[in-house]
Amino acid sequence: MPVTSTSGVQSAGSGIWLQIQQQQAQRSADQADQRARSLQMRAREAQSAADQAQETARSLEVQSGQAQSEANSAKLGLAAQAALGKIQTQLSGLREQIGVALAAQKVVQPVAESVAPVINDLGQQTGTLVNVTA
């Protein structure tokens, strides 16, 4: 009988040991499951943040293109203004030159009475001045 009682104790001890192992395995499985859910949630949050960052990047890219377009338009406007200013300066200088030339022409113009007519070989009178200034 002593063998039976020992084997009964061993059986009871083995049963408890098996139960402890099962509990530990269950705890490990529960912890692994909890960790997996936590990691899945973090992965979803990270994916959401990545999607938002990508959308923000697209929006910034569009805004950047618009800003570049505005900058190009502003540069063209400045170039046009500079060209217009240069043309206006040149026209002003040309007006001054024309004014000086006209003033000089009025001063140099001879009086019609002081010039005697010239007779050519055919006996025709030439060299008569006609005043065309008004």
Question: pLDDT tens digits, residue range 22-58?
Answer: 999 999 999 999 999 999 999 999 999 999 999 999 9
Torsion of CA 24, 26, 31, 36, to 10 degrees: 140
Who has greater pLDDT, 122 or 81? Answer: 81
Question: pLDDT tens digits, residue range 69-94?
Answer: 999 999 999 999 999 999 999 999 99
Show the tokens assigned to 105.
């022409």
Show the tokens assigned to 27.
């705890």
**C-alpha closest to that of 134 among 98, 101, 106, 95:** 106
